[in-house]
Structure 1
């Protein structure tokens, strides 16, 4: 469609004259009537966070997203741009995106009075109407609001001339969305500069007799004050936010797994990877247990990034084994979980009286998570014959992070009675008919299932597991 090039053409086209909050509200109502979600790509918030966010936008309120780290606050803020019009008209050449209908800055007002309907306009896309600022202690008022530009003064203009101002981030995104991440980190004297923006909708710069009515949606994110301890949101500023939306961690194992599969770095294309569902469940259960542990600082939380990083480490171990052993398919196993512990400790803050107990806390939670998932899927399995083989000394299985699937399965002999049933109950592809396995992909999947069964028997105190040199373990009677 041909877009208007002047104010007169814009009026003739019937383009609506509305504020950014009215624009967001109208587009949100259209989505709701069409049965579409507020946003996509955010999992687990459909019945909790998103309804609150919808109400805040429909009410035309500036808002603050409050929650622990790794709760998709920044992602939610960025997706709000989807509610803006794809393109919006602004006065051509304006630094602060003045509306052609209601010019705000002195230069655009002067041009409007001179040119009238011949005022030239241009169109900006929605991404140029969104600004994101990470609050840091060195942030200045000039960064957010603006300051006198000495170069413009040197050109001969007077200090009282509004056109000597170099506009900051907020005015430059007039008629858009401005997001400030980690708002408590912003020094309190700088937070004061936002008071007029949120209430009176204007700015003040170095004593100028200036009223610049701003049309913005201001969105902030913050961790709970009692966690960050790096600063606070001053009470007058907190009072000016119309809504506070509290985020949360995934509340179900399925949501946690879905987020991991969406966000984790894809494995290398030259090594096919299959991650058994039961191992995804183990990682999700591990995080659930850590989030409830008294030994973990719950104010800082256990981020979903922990789960994502653990998943990536798990997959990396399988890819490393496949590359070393020549397997055609990389399938993570229980033995790969051992590498998750040291890689993940840096993401958690502990509340321990004695130093050095972090590994024990996570290791205990990991064993409990494995046993929980094992009982969920295999709790009703009759494994007495397998246990009897271990007790009689007929069977000993040794495994490690570089033990191939074929080598692990060879320890069982020609066949494993019940293997097909175990894989079916775990939701994995079944091995060959009668519990046999084929060399290659089937062996890798079967080895992962068999190792999981052995670990569950060990945690249930039905067979022993001994640590061998070089990180290898041996299951025996």
Structure 2
């Protein structure tokens, strides 16, 4: 990391150090190429796009194109755009005190041009961190041209400047991002007349405010996000603006169960331990929702649903720990019961499915449990466990049942060690972890109709 104290503080020092102005797209291109050549990941925290979205985006950036990311909700579009700041130089020189982030060797506003002419090599230089060169705007119907581009500032007029003076302009978001990145989320939500105001910015790289003839050679990378349905529903990207984006990159949900689990691990703030088998159940559950004909797939099932589901399961385990005194709190399959009720509102169903939402969620969750158990216990004979329960060793679980009681209901069976090992649990682990593995095996036997299950008042009993 460069020490700020070592950096030039005047234009003269900057020129002597060999600094030359460089466009933001050239800067991103050079830093992206350097990362690729060095084998560094330019996209930290981005999961599941490595062989699909990221190569397309990298080609667009290397070509110097403005980009629109097209995809359903919760696919990580905004997260991806925010990582673009990592491709900017860590520190960049700007004219100290200037309203826009102008390069000291390339001023563009009337005030900065005047100061540069007056001060010459003594023009003061400040240094801006790359995190300050990213501007983001959520497009809303009430967004105005003044918000994005600029408008006449009545305070400056009242101070004595005339309306014809270009220095009366209050600059909007886009000019203030000069030499940086402007991200507009949900671009089609902008009114069409507001989208028109962006045409000059994207093609001629200047701005027009009311009747002013002010021309600013803006240097910005404009990126945007959009949902596919927005082209025909809430709004659309007007054709001239869409034509000015050099690249349209389609995003997607995680393509594999492993990638879905990686997203959950990275994003979820878990208040209790949730083991790999349960994370796999939730990942499969979300994938089942995305394939279900009962769910409105035009709306999509956000990755945030899987994250919220994992946090809900962890919260259920934490609550059980408080009720039973069991430590550490570890999630078990019984905690999955909290997911459909809590998260039903996060999924949009087809119009003919009113009243059956919870039924669909429960069915798909059970299917995910069965699929996970089948993969985890493939080739393992669970018949000794089934026979033990059938012979009278009923197993009770629930929000007031600690893991030790679940294990205590069963005799010592070799198959239990095998079940724990397949679930990634060691025999020396706390009872809660081992109980989670045993519960998964019992639930799989129930779903295969080899055991019965009775649930009442927070208590679930597996029996013959």
Asked if these proteins are the same fold (TM beyond 0.5), I'd say yes
SS at match of 2:450: coil
Cα deviation per residue 1:238-269 (whole Å; 9 max; x = unaligned)?
110111111111111111111111111142xx
Q: Does 2:282 align with 1:294?
A: no
Quote how far apart the aligned CAs of 1:51 are.
1.0
Quote how far apart the aligned CAs of 1:226 are.
4.8
Provide closer, same or farther for how the CA distance between residues 382 and 3 of structure 1 changes in structure 2, counting only shifts above 3 A: closer
Counterparts of residues 418-457 of structure 1 (less than 5 Å): 418-431=415-428, 442-457=430-445
Q: Using the alignment, how far apart are the partners of 2:164 and 2:83 within structure 1?
A: 40
2:116 to 94, 112, 119: 112
1:462 to 450, 453, 462: 450
Question: Does the Cα contact within 8 Å between 1:129 and 1:175 map onto a contact in 2?
Answer: yes
The 10-residue stretch of structure 1 (403-412 or 171-180) with the greater mean CA deviation from structure 2: 403-412
SS at match of 1:221: strand
2:229 match: 225
Counterparts of residues 19-418 of structure 1 (less than 5 Å): 19-226=23-230, 229-267=233-271, 273-392=272-391, 394-412=392-410, 414-418=411-415
The 10-residue stretch of structure 1 (348-357 or 441-450) with the greater mean CA deviation from structure 2: 441-450
TM-score scaled by length of structure 1: 0.93
Question: Does the Cα contact within 8 Å between 1:204 and 1:210 map onto a contact in 2?
Answer: yes
Q: Using the alignment, how far apart are the partners of 1:451 and 1:179 within structure 2?
A: 47
Q: Does 2:453 align with 1:473?
A: no
SS at match of 2:198: helix
The 10-residue stretch of structure 1 (214-223 or 348-357) with the greater mean CA deviation from structure 2: 348-357
1:434 match: none
Cα deviation per residue 1:272-302 (whole Å; 9 max; x = unaligned)?
x432211111111111111111111111111
Counterparts of residues 3-18 of structure 1 (less than 5 Å): 3-18=7-22
Question: Does the Cα contact within 8 Å between 2:101 and 2:177 map onto a contact in 1?
Answer: yes
Quote how far apart the aligned CAs of 1:228 are.
8.0
Q: Using the alignment, how far apart are the partners of 1:122 and 1:406 within structure 2?
A: 63
TM-score scaled by length of structure 2: 0.95
Quote how far apart the aligned CAs of 1:446 are.
2.1
Question: Does the Cα contact within 8 Å between 2:178 and 2:220 map onto a contact in 1?
Answer: yes
Question: Does the Cα contact within 8 Å between 1:111 and 1:119 map onto a contact in 2?
Answer: yes
Q: Using the alignment, how far apart are the partners of 1:98 and 1:243 within structure 2?
A: 27
CA root-mean-square deviation: 1.6
SS at match of 1:418: helix
Provide closer, same or farther for how the CA distance between residues 391 and 119 of structure 1 changes in structure 2, counting only shifts above 3 A: closer
Q: Using the alignment, how far apart are the partners of 1:128 and 1:383 within structure 2?
A: 58
Question: Does the Cα contact within 8 Å between 1:74 and 1:181 map onto a contact in 2?
Answer: yes
Quote how far apart the aligned CAs of 1:119 are.
2.4
Q: Using the alignment, how far apart are the partners of 1:13 and 1:154 within structure 2?
A: 42
Query: Which ranges of structure 1 fall in alignment gaps of 5 or more residues?
Result: 268-272, 432-440
Provide closer, same or farther for how the CA distance between residues 177 and 391 of structure 1 changes in structure 2, counting only shifts above 3 A: same
Quote how far apart the aligned CAs of 1:409 are.
2.2
Query: Which ranges of structure 2 fall in alignment gaps of 5 or more residues?
Result: none
The 10-residue stretch of structure 1 (378-387 or 255-264) with the greater mean CA deviation from structure 2: 378-387
Question: Does the Cα contact within 8 Å between 1:227 and 1:300 map onto a contact in 2?
Answer: no
The 10-residue stretch of structure 1 (420-429 or 193-202) with the greater mean CA deviation from structure 2: 420-429
